[in-house]
Amino acid sequence: MTPSGKTGRLAFRNARLIDPASGLDTKGGLLVENGRIADIGPRLFNDAEPRDPEVIDCKGLVLAPGLIDCRVFTGEPGSEHRESLSSASEAAAAGGVTTIVTMPNTNPVIDEPSLVDFIRRRAQATAKVHVAPMAALTQGLNGEVMTEIGLLKEAGAVAFTDGDRTVANARVMRRALSYAATFDALVAGHAEDPELVANAAITESEFATRLGLPAAPALAEAIIVERDIRLVELTGARYHFGQISTRAALDAITAAKRSGLPITCGVAAHHLLLNELDVRSYYTFRKVKPPLRSEADRAAMVEGVASGAIDVIVSSHEPQGADTKRQTFASAAFGAVGLETLLPAALNLFHDGQAGLIHILAALTSTPARLLGLQAGSLAKGMPADLVLIDTDEPFVVDERDLHSRARNTAFEGRKFQGRARMTFVSGACVFTRGGKDAR
Partner 1 sequence: MTSANRSPILKTSHLLGIEGLSVPEATGLLDLGESYVAQSRASNKKAEALEGRTLINLFFEASTRTQSSFELAGKRLGADVLNMSVKTSSVSKGETLIDTASTLNAMRPDILVVRHQDSGAAELLSRKLDCSVINAGDGAHEHPTQALLDALTIRRRLGRIEGLIVAICGDILHSRVARSNIRLLAMLGARVRLIAPRTLLPAEADRFGVEIFTDMKQGLAGADIVMMLRLQLERMTGAFVPSSREYFRFYGLDREKLSHAKPGALVMHPGPMNRGVEIASDIADDLDVSLIAEQVEMGVAIRMAVLDALARGLARNETEPRGML
The contact set with partner 1 (CB under 8 A) reads 204-206, 208-215, 217, 281-282, 322-323, 326-331
Task: In angstroms, give the least distance from the CB of 291 to partner 1.
Answer: 13
- Pick between residue 324 and residue 367 the one whose CB is nearest to partner 1: 324
- Pick between residue 79 and residue 138 the one whose CB is nearest to partner 1: 79
Q: How far apart are CA 339 and CA 337, in angstroms?
A: 6
Nearest to 28 by CA among 44, 10, 51: 44
Strand partners of residue 425? 387, 430
Q: How far apart are CA 386 and CA 19, in angstroms?
A: 12
Task: In angstroms, give the least distance from the CB of 304 to partner 1.
Answer: 25
A 10 A CB-CB count for 387 gives: 28
Q: Which residues contact 350 (CB under 8 A, 6 or more apart)?
A: 356, 357, 360, 392, 419
Residue type, 339: L
Helical spans, DSSP H, in 104-169 = 113-126, 149-155
Nearest to 247 by CA among 299, 287, 194, 190: 299
Task: In angstroms, give the least distance from the CB of 320 to partner 1.
Answer: 12
Q: In Å, how far are 9, 19, 58, 378, 390 from 382, measured between CA atoms?
A: 14, 14, 21, 10, 22
Task: In angstroms, give the least distance from the CB of 326 to partner 1.
Answer: 5
Task: In angstroms, give the least distance from the CB of 208 to partner 1.
Answer: 7
Asked if residues 268 and 164 have their Cβ atoms less than 8 Å apart, the reply is: no
Q: How far apart are CA 236 and CA 294, in angstroms?
A: 33
Task: In angstroms, give the least distance from the CB of 201 to partner 1.
Answer: 9
- Pick between residue 2 and residue 324 the one whose CB is nearest to partner 1: 324
Task: In angstroms, give the least distance from the CB of 293 to partner 1.
Answer: 14
- Pick between residue 19 and residue 413 the one whose CB is nearest to partner 1: 413
- Pick between residue 213 and residue 252 the one whose CB is nearest to partner 1: 213
Nearest to 184 by CA among 147, 155, 158: 158
- Pick between residue 47 and residue 206 the one whose CB is nearest to partner 1: 206
Strand partners of residue 202? 215
- Pick between residue 125 and residue 198 the one whose CB is nearest to partner 1: 198
Task: In angstroms, give the least distance from the CB of 302 to partner 1.
Answer: 24
Task: In angstroms, give the least distance from the CB of 215 to partner 1.
Answer: 7
Task: In angstroms, give the least distance from the CB of 209 to partner 1.
Answer: 4
Asked if residues 361 and 406 have their Cβ atoms less than 8 Å apart, the reply is: no
Asked if residues 162 and 135 have their Cβ atoms less than 8 Å apart, the reply is: no
Nearest to 162 by CA among 1, 289, 274: 289
- Pick between residue 212 and residue 353 the one whose CB is nearest to partner 1: 212
- Pick between residue 179 and residue 285 the one whose CB is nearest to partner 1: 285
- Pick between residue 264 and residue 294 the one whose CB is nearest to partner 1: 294
Task: In angstroms, give the least distance from the CB of 213 to partner 1.
Answer: 5
Question: Strands, DSSP E only, in 73-128?
Answer: 97-102
Q: How far apart are CA 435 and CA 409, in angstroms?
A: 23
- Read off the DSSP letter of residue 140: G
Asked if residues 360 and 385 have their Cβ atoms less than 8 Å apart, the reply is: no
- Pick between residue 70 and residue 215 the one whose CB is nearest to partner 1: 215
- Give the count of alpha carbons within 13 A of 401, CB side only: 0
Q: Exposed (0-12), middle (13-18) or buried (19+): which is 28, by Cβ within 10 Å?
A: buried
How many residues belong to the chain? 440
